[in-house]
Amino acid sequence: MTWKLYYDGECNLCHGSQLRVVKWALAHGQLIETEVLQSGEAAEKGYGPDAMVLEAERVYKAEAAWLRLMLVAPWYVRWVGWLGLVPGVRHVLALGYRIVARYRKRWFGTRTCPLPPRS
């Protein structure tokens, strides 16, 4: 099954993370396609621009998508995905995700050539 990752194409952190995740997935033998959340395809599916979405065995959004992607990461990062399976820890990781998501453009900047707004 090919995964589909939707990410914020205007955010430097998201863009860099997307490039890294594609390498990880392919090294893990997982086919993955990517699309920006600002695309018409994402809009048709009702995905907003505020949180990444991963279509895999099911649809994962925000921190759930991030944690699922960590399970195909190299061994030295994969433990973060396993932490999400520990009761109580997932809530802390979700809070961290929401904080970074809220301030990511301020902290990491935006792409120099922003995508046109959705039509």
DSSP-assigned states of every residue in 83-99: HTTSTTHHHHHHHHHHH
Given this model, what pLDDT does residue 49 score? Answer: 78
Given this model, what pLDDT does residue 27 score? Answer: 92
Residue 75 CA to residue 104 CA, distance in Å, equals 26
Q: What is the pLDDT of residues 58-89, one digit of tens each?
A: 999 988 998 899 889 998 888 888 888 888 88
The neighbour count for residue 60, using CB atoms within 10 Å, is 19
The ranges of the chain with pLDDT < 50 are none
Closest CA to 52 of 41, 64, 44, 43: 64
User: pTM to 2 decimals?
Assistant: 0.81
Q: What are the φ and ψ backbone dihedral angles of 11, each rounded to 5 degrees?
A: -100, 130
The length of the chain is 119
| Radius of gyration of the chain from its Cα atoms, rounded to whole angstroms | 14
Given this model, what pLDDT does residue 112 score? Answer: 60
Domain residue extents for the chain: 3-108
Extract the runs of DSSP E, i.e. beta strands, from 3-116: 3-7, 32-36, 53-55, 59-61
Given this model, what pLDDT does residue 111 score? Answer: 72
**Which two structure tokens, joined as six digits, stand for 31?**
């086919």
